[in-house]
Structure 1
Amino acid sequence: KKLGFNSDFSIYDEQDSKALMKQLLKELGIDSNKTTPQSFLEKIDYLKSQYILPGDYRKTASFHEQKDVVVYDEYQKALFRSGAMDFGDLLLHVVTLFKEHPNLLESYRREIRYILVDEYQDTNHVQYLFLTALGKPRGNVLVVGDDDQAIYSFRGANIRNILDFEKDFPGAKVVRLEENYRSSKFILRAANKIIEKNKERKKKELWTARDEGQPLRCFIGHNEAEEAEFICREILKIKNEELSFKDIAVFYRTNAQSRALEEALIDYHIPYRIFGGLKFYDRKEIKDLLAYLKLLVNPSDSQAFLRVINTPARGLGPKSIENIVKLAKKEGTSLMQAALKLSMNTKGLKNFVALIKEFKNAATSLSLVELIDLILDRTGYLSGLMEMKDPVAESRIDNIKEFKGVAWSVNQEGLNPIEQLQKFLDRVSLSSTNENPENISSDDAEFVSLMTLHLAKGLEFPVVFFSGMEEGLVPHYRSLESEADIEEERRLCYVGMTRAMNIIYLTLANTRSMFAGNAGTVSTGFYRYPSRFLRDIPIDCISEDSNFFSEIGSVESVSDLGGEDGEVDSHVAVTTGYEIDKFLEVDLRKQKRKDMSRQSRRSTFKLPDNVENGMRVSHPVFGEGVVDRIDGDPEIDSSQTFITVQFDDFDEPMKLVYKWSNLSRIN
């Protein structure tokens, strides 16, 4: 009541908030198809988690955030008029009450004798304010947490809360719970060596009374398909050793990585379940793109037509679609033919039909990747996602890159464009419609668990496959410019490794198509660096038994990559089958990396300085070469711009992301 609410105020759940936001955006004249209600709600929830009120936000918001300021302010006013609060308000308003009414705060301090908080490393600023307001005067606070598992900054969590606990509560007693009951000694030693490199942490080292266990098993494949096949073969071996599928988990950094794993698991008849997300080909953005491609091959496909006719939104609502369906039924024609007849009188429909015609003509001459790029560009699909600038949109963009990577692999087979498109659709259809060989609907069914590293927190499995241990994935490429973000990525790696009880595999790929899914990409794909975190693992924690590695081609254990003090730069098994030997011919991992100081190897990549076509450049690992082409505009978005370089030591050009290409000019 002190804030103007009645005691019987409503609490809006997610659906209530979304409905209110949708209505509000309509009133404000904001196109909810370009910036979704969910995007605004997530931004507002983050602001509330940091105790940033609309008035405070208005003072600090940039020019580009002015629309967010208006929406936040109007949303709060709309909630107040409705006598309602959303979940973020529950703490926000309580902290405001404590600030504005100290007598009320004091009454609660007298009433609450002790405060206990679990998972304290995951608390945000408004939670911190709430806790310190109640508990600071008397110090009657007990918190439990692990700063090495602080991995939710993107949700507003602040690691400083746990790191500064002794400053906030002088005289606090710290009890370190360092005994681990889950993992073997080998796993813990490797994980400890990785996490101890972080500067912002409380010093501790996990130990266990368990036995040594088995050394870490590592593998590098030629590409993500070989990596996934290796994982499947090892899963089947483990299953034959009297372990259950439910004892096995596969972790990855991004949802887009699941595609290659899913295809391999289906091929090997291994049941699996994805936690926290849909199967790759069931994801909205993938189904949307597939619908466009299907319509080009079969214009009579009614389901594909209905999916894309207003995706992205082009002003064709239910009434327009109903008229098309009625005409098609009346004349016994396809929906596309009916749309063609009606398009003369409807601008949006006319534009849609023209787009499909353009795509159909382009499909006869463009490569599959170029065709997908054309669809993404002309429909505004990709630009719409990029404008959203939220984690969901970023995940969808990653999925599109992976989708283009699959298309790129078809491009290499020398078929004409229409044959490529048909083969691609056939391949996708087989991958997306294959059923798992076992029914996994019951609670006690057997299946391998697939999940992102963030979802793995708090879980444990006897056997863990940690896939994609590469620069750009672990740590993620969006984290490379901030030391704080790098440290969080290191914590994420630590969390993933310490989920394993008995056995852990660390796998990676020499090339990964999600980083090479653009027109003009060479057959080798985009070369991947092993993750910097692999350098920190003591060599005696890595298995030297080549039976743990690839059964395709010969195997070489790489153990001397210029490390110091008993450390190595990367502990991987390198398969020399396929064409991977071209990377070993110039001895990249030894000769060139040995010449780089440990400090320079760990520095973040720099932007190339005014690089142009035909210019000679130098790369710290690949050596010297000539810029062949630049795709995109680095001034608009250097992370979406690609630079192709013909390096002197390589037969074919290599495509790099401009922002992280680490090139320098040779004058």
Structure 2
Amino acid sequence: MDYFKQMEQSTGVLLNDIQKQAVLKTDGPLLLLASPGSGKTTTLNMKIGYLLLEKKVQPESIMAVTFSRAAAEDMAERFRQFFHDKVSRPVQFSTIHSFAFRIVKSYFQKKSINYRLIEGDVEPHWLHKRMALQQLFTNKTGKKITEDELESLITYISYVKNRMIQPDQLQKVKCSLKEAKDIYIAYEEWKRNYDDQTLLLDFDDMLTYAYEALLHDKMILKKLQKQYDYVLTDESQDNSLVQHKIVEKIASPQNNLCVVADDDQSIFQWRGSDVGHLLEFKSRYPNGQVLTMTENYRSSKTIVQVANTFIKRNKERYRKEMYTVNDIGIPIEVQSFKKREAKIRYVMDTVKEQVNRKEVAILYRNNNSAVSVVNAMDRLNIDFYMKEIDTKFFRHWVTTDLLNFMRFSYHTGRVDVLEHIYSKFNAYMKKDQMKWLLQEGRGECAFARLQNTKLEAYQVSKLKQAKRAFDKINKLSPSAAITVIEDDLGYRKALEQRCERLGLNVDRAKEILDALKEIAEDEQTLKGFADRLKRLESKMKQSKFNKGENVPTLSTFHRAKGLEFDRVYMIDLNRDILPTKEDNDDPELMEEAVRLFYVGMTRAREHLELLSSGGVQKESPFLPQIKKLIAPSTVTSPHRAGTTVAHEDLLPNTTIEHEKFGIGTIIDVKSDTMTVDFEHHGEKEFIKQFCVERGLLTKV
């Protein structure tokens, strides 16, 4: 019986023509581009089944790897469902990291090298990568590293290793932490010199040492090449340069390589994923084949058409047309709320109405957004499941600062608490004054004690004002107390100055401050506020036990990839969040921001809502584009007047008005693109076709 007929009868899987071609293409290089909801995991499993049942390939001769452990487990479970009664031995599905680790262990054993992992469960705890980096930062700067700074440093190190950046090129890698390069070099030296008998390894080292083994040990390479006749990788758009190279090294020289990916869903550039490697597939494999699976079985026609058109604004991608034969479905909703709390109330009201809550997802770019949602759900006794539990919000320096302000207000003689905040409010205290207070220890009010010392004239009144403010804080509700901290003590201004001085993300810091104010609204006491934060952190940690229950899912866009729901709410689609300021300044980052938005939209089967807060002026610049795609004939801009620009109008020295960037002059025109110099935003590059089709430009 024909293989596909047999599969249809025994598993219920009916493949389309492109999927069948992908299954039958077993020899030579194949890039299978799979749009969202196109059945890539099913197709990949059917291909493995074909190799086993029709080509009689042994399971141990198939290397099947994917990016994440969850994806590997999903592939293995699907395979078991389809073939548990058809094959005697299953194929081993693994992540690239775990596969690389097997290579490293073999390589080190052969060279008699002892090693020790410093990520995961590490004892003693000070040997953990994070602890080591904290200490190296302190050694370098004399300061304690913040959570933001530590995450930036870890991301920098991972990017450098995964992109195989050479030492002489380190200074070209962007990082908000100016000391990142020096600490990275110190970190690598620390690992090498920790112990003459032991080499320390982090998770990224597994990849770099695995590639080194394949490069320098011909016996290990040949053994793997001989074992694996067929190499298949899923989610390859997430692979970094070193991961791509490991896979390709093992697949050669036969190159029976199947790469399953979607360049439009490459959203991990910040940690080293390399979509450019996919785009160069044909140049590396001239005889390779590229197949495109573009039929979406998941989403309504409305969602598919809007998402398909939206992603075309990106230039660095394979051209493809996602389509579906599903019903048109209900319109996509785009809403802008004046206040964050109004947006959260709206989402909560709609979630409460849902009977099948496991088919509801609330998606966001930053984990900070989840805290407000969790706060609202907890008050309404709505359980939830978090795809990614990240509680750094509760340890963020802004959160710690606010709690320290409140803690100090209870006892203004606690100089141990004052030490952490004295430079963050407008009393203008000096380091030597703080040092003197610490030497004196706890006692009466610190400000009163300073009044008895020699002070600058401007300090006398400022210290008195600070004392009055702290005395007031202790008697106020948490919400009113935060207002005093922000305004009377000048914390918000100090926050902005600190972010600018240290290169920290000021918008992220303000987001956290605003979320804390939101949580404080319903609390009556400062202790109640602190307890509330502890409860929310606990609820988030406990949410993992709700997996599979009839509860809504909370997830970042990044972690939601691969998931699908009937109803999806994309929240906090605000200016400077998606895209961020950094995205606006970097064409590569902007394309990734577009892909991230696209991934969010394509999680929805039937109902998709795009929500922002702060009014229309603060909504993401992506939202006006979506509105035009939903109803292009009815959407107009109240801020612009004049004739829409046509292709023939796009000439150098022509003055135009853009709906976002305002007045500008065209300074360069190419076949597909043009560059415009705007009065207030500088030079920007645009796709001409997109601007004309969407009516984004008018004549001035």
TM-score (norm 2): 0.60
Q: Distance in 2 between matches of 1:263 and 1:83?
A: 45
Q: Distance in 2 between matches of 1:376 and 1:591?
A: 32
Q: 1:234 aligns with which of 350, 361, 382?
A: 350
- Are the equivalent residues in 1 in contact too, given 2:398–2:512 (CA < 8 A)? no
Q: Distance in 2 between matches of 1:342 and 1:590?
A: 60
Q: Structure 2: which 5+ residue stretches go unaligned? A: 1-106, 123-127, 424-430, 452-460, 474-481, 647-655, 665-676, 682-700
1:156-175 aligned within 5 A: 156-175=272-291
Q: Distance in 2 between matches of 1:442 and 1:64?
A: 41
Q: Distance in 2 between matches of 1:510 and 1:103?
A: 61
Does structure 1 residue 44 correspond to structure 2 residue 148?
A: no
Does structure 1 residue 293 correspond to structure 2 residue 405?
A: yes
Q: Distance in 2 between matches of 1:192 and 1:600?
A: 27
Residue 351 of structure 1 corresponds to none
Secondary structure of the corresponding residue to residue 243 of structure 2: helix
The alpha carbon displacement at 1:447 in A equals 3.3
- Are the equivalent residues in 1 in contact too, given 2:657–2:663 (CA < 8 A)? no
Secondary structure of the corresponding residue to residue 553 of structure 2: strand
Q: Deviations over 1:387-425 (max 9, x none)?
A: 765xxx64x861444415875999xxxxxxxxx999895
Change (3 A) 1:144 1:184: same
Residue 480 of structure 1 corresponds to 584
Q: Which moved more, 1:366-375 or 1:220-229?
A: 366-375
Secondary structure of the corresponding residue to residue 335 of structure 2: strand
Residue 259 of structure 2 corresponds to 143
Q: Deviations over 1:24-83 (max 9, x none)?
A: 567767644379666544432221111235466489999966623641442342357333
The alpha carbon displacement at 1:261 in A equals 3.8
Residue 193 of structure 2 corresponds to 78
- Are the equivalent residues in 2 in contact too, given 1:372–1:404 (CA < 8 A)? no
What residue identity is the alignment partner of 1:528?
K
| Identity of matched residues, % | 19
Secondary structure of the corresponding residue to residue 605 of structure 2: strand
What residue identity is the alignment partner of 2:183?
D
Q: What is the root-mean-square deviation of aligned Cα atoms in Å? A: 5.2
Q: Deviations over 1:161-219 (max 9, x none)?
A: 21111221222122222222221222111211211222111122233343222221232
Q: Deviations over 1:104-130 (max 9, x none)?
A: 545543443222211110111111222
Does structure 1 residue 403 correspond to structure 2 residue 510?
A: no
Q: Distance in 2 between matches of 1:323 and 1:118?
A: 63
The alpha carbon displacement at 1:357 in A equals 7.2
Change (3 A) 1:133 1:308: farther
Residue 204 of structure 2 corresponds to 88
Residue 556 of structure 2 corresponds to 452
Q: Distance in 2 between matches of 1:256 and 1:194?
A: 26
Q: Which moved more, 1:490-499 or 1:170-179?
A: 170-179
Q: Distance in 1 between matches of 2:574 and 2:143?
A: 39
Q: Distance in 2 between matches of 1:60 and 1:210?
A: 45
Q: Deviations over 1:223-271 (max 9, x none)?
A: 222222222222233x2xxx32322111122333345544544565544
Q: Distance in 1 between matches of 2:208 and 2:535?
A: 48
Does structure 1 residue 360 correspond to structure 2 residue 470?
A: no
1:486-635 aligned within 5 A: 486-511=590-615, 527-536=617-626, 541=630, 560-562=634-636, 589-592=637-640, 601=658
Change (3 A) 1:376 1:292: farther
Residue 120 of structure 1 corresponds to 236
How many residues are aligned here? 517
What residue identity is the alignment partner of 1:403?
L
Q: Distance in 2 between matches of 1:306 and 1:447?
A: 43
Residue 578 of structure 1 corresponds to none
Does structure 1 residue 155 correspond to structure 2 residue 271?
A: yes
1:138-287 aligned within 5 A: 138-237=254-353, 239=354, 243-258=355-370, 260-262=372-374, 264-265=376-377, 268-278=380-390, 282-287=394-399
Q: Distance in 2 between matches of 1:531 and 1:431?
A: 35
Change (3 A) 1:421 1:230: closer
- Are the equivalent residues in 2 in contact too, given 1:6–1:83 (CA < 8 A)? no
Change (3 A) 1:323 1:109: farther
- Are the equivalent residues in 2 in contact too, given 1:117–1:144 (CA < 8 A)? yes
Secondary structure of the corresponding residue to residue 192 of structure 1: helix
Does structure 1 residue 10 correspond to structure 2 residue 135?
A: no
Change (3 A) 1:336 1:508: farther
Secondary structure of the corresponding residue to residue 503 of structure 1: strand
What residue identity is the alignment partner of 2:582?
R
Change (3 A) 1:276 1:399: farther
Secondary structure of the corresponding residue to residue 276 of structure 1: coil
Secondary structure of the corresponding residue to residue 92 of structure 1: helix
- Are the equivalent residues in 1 in contact too, given 2:360–2:566 (CA < 8 A)? yes
Secondary structure of the corresponding residue to residue 43 of structure 1: helix
Residue 471 of structure 1 corresponds to 575
Q: Deviations over 1:563-622 (max 9, x none)?
A: xxxxxxxxxxxxxxxxxxxxxxxxxx3242666859853777999xxxxxxxxxxxx99x
What residue identity is the alignment partner of 2:115?
F
What residue identity is the alignment partner of 1:67?
D
Q: Structure 1: which 5+ residue stretches go unaligned? A: 325-334, 345-353, 411-419, 513-526, 543-557, 563-588, 608-619, 625-633, 635-667
Q: Which moved more, 1:283-292 or 1:33-42?
A: 33-42
